[in-house]
Every structure is written in C-alpha cells, then in structure tokens.
C-alpha cells in the first residue's frame, strides 16, 4: 500500500483529534484560566507532541506548514494567550522542529519506497523552515537546542538529494549547477 494509504491514514488521524479536543475541553476546567503557566509543565510535552502530529498530518495532506492558529483549532484550544488555555508559541515551534526530524526520516524512507521526487520536495520545505527559524532570536534554552538539531536534519536530507542526483534517479535533481530550474 505504501504512500497510497496516506490520505486514509490522515483522515483516521483527524478523527483521533476529536478525542484530543474532548480531552482539552476537560483539561481547561481543571485550573483557573489565569494560571496557565503555573501548570504549563504538566501538559507542555504532550502539547508539543500533538503539535507535531497535527503538523505531520497537514504536511502529508498538502506539503505545507500548518499555522499555529490552525493547530490550535485542530486541538480545540486558542492561539491567543489572552483567551486562557492556548497554544504557547514555544510549544508550537518545538512541535514543528519535531516535524523536521520526521521529514528527514521520510526522505530516506521515500527513496527506499522508490519515490525519488519526494525527498526534493522535503528538502525545499526543510530549507524554508530553516530560513524561518534563523530569523528568530532564540535564547539558550530547550527550543534553541532543538533548533540546533535542525541543521542535522537539513544535512541528512541534502545527502539524500545528493545521492539521488549522483545516481540520476531524479530528473529535477540532475539540473546542472547554475542552471535555471
């Protein structure tokens, strides 16, 4: 089945987000809205993981980066801090960095499955993501450390694309250096 089953799997994943929304509704009632950050550590990791899962589903469906607002909607929470229980920007960014690592794996697995154009598209996406992260002034914290790992994902994907071009397995990848695509 391979990549042909991806749309069906994405639909199934979206159904599971319904359960997530129900759980989020319940969680919102367990503490005062103005004390979000007092309890943030309790759900931070789970939220980051859910951001990754939502971002991965959206990427598989459309090969685009999901916005923070769209993730918040998928999870049934707010994007705006003033509205109480929300998707913290650092949790969103952390989930997006997890997506980058998973896409590096997908690039390798795509080649194994005989899909030689996907790694090129992933490479373009990851390079744009890396450019965006470089614009941020990240403090020396966990998010910065996670971002530092992005350069290894970029390198891994570049190696896959390079191998494809050397072997002539991807017509787009064999466009000569300096030529217009």
DSSP codes of every residue in 28-95? HTTS-GGGHHHHGGGTHHHHHHHHHHHHHHHHHHHSSPPPHHHHHHHHT-BSSGGGSSB--HHHHHHH
Q: Is 163 a member of any domain?
A: yes
153 has a pLDDT exceeding 50: yes
Return the minimum-mean-pLDDT range out of 19-28, 59-68, 154-163, 172-181.
172-181
Binding residues, as ranges, are 102
Q: 55 lies in which domain range?
A: 5-167
In whole angstroms, what separates CA 155 from the centre of its chain?
17
Binding residues for Mg(2+), as ranges, are 102
Q: Is 100 a member of any domain?
A: yes
CATH number, residue 84:
1.20.58.200
Instruction: Enumerate residues 6+ apart whose C-beta is below 8 A from 91.
Output: 44, 47, 48, 51
| CA–CA separation, 129 and 100 (whole Å) | 8
For residues 59 and 101, the answer to whether their CB atoms sit within 8 Å is no
In the block, residue with structure tokens 């469906």: 61
Q: Is 154 a member of any domain?
A: yes
| CA–CA separation, 52 and 99 (whole Å) | 6
Q: Is 123 a member of any domain?
A: yes
pLDDT at 175: 44
Q: Is 172 a member of any domain?
A: no
pTM: predicted TM-score of the whole model, two decimal places:
0.88
Q: Is 87 a member of any domain?
A: yes
Split into its structural domains, the chain has a count of: 1
| CA–CA separation, 175 and 170 (whole Å) | 9
Q: How confident is the model at residue 141 (pLDDT cuts 50, 70, 90)?
A: confident
pLDDT tens digits, 81-113: 888 889 999 999 999 999 999 999 999 999 988
Q: Is 180 a member of any domain?
A: no
Q: Is 181 a member of any domain?
A: no
């Amino acid at each position: 089945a391979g990549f042909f089953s991806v749309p069906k799997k994405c639909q199934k994943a979206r159904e599971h987000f319904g359960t997530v929304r129900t759980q989020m509704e319940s969680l919102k009632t367990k503490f005062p809205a103005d004390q979000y950050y007092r309890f943030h550590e309790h759900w931070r990791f789970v939220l980051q993981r859910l951001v990754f899962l939502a971002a991965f589903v959206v990427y598989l469906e459309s090969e685009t980066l999901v916005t923070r607002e769209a993730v918040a909607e998928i999870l049934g929470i707010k994007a705006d801090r003033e509205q109480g229980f929300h998707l913290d920007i650092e949790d969103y960014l952390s989930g997006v960095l997890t997506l980058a690592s998973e896409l590096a794996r997908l690039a390798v697995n795509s080649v194994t499955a005989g899909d030689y154009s996907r790694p090129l598209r992933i490479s373009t996406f990851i390079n744009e993501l890396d450019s965006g992260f470089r614009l941020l002034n990240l403090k020396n914290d966990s998010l910065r450390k996670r971002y530092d790992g992005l350069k290894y994902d970029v390198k891994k994907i570049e190696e896959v694309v390079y191998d494809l071009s050397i072997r002539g397995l991807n017509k787009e990848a064999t466009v000569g250096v300096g030529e217009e695509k």
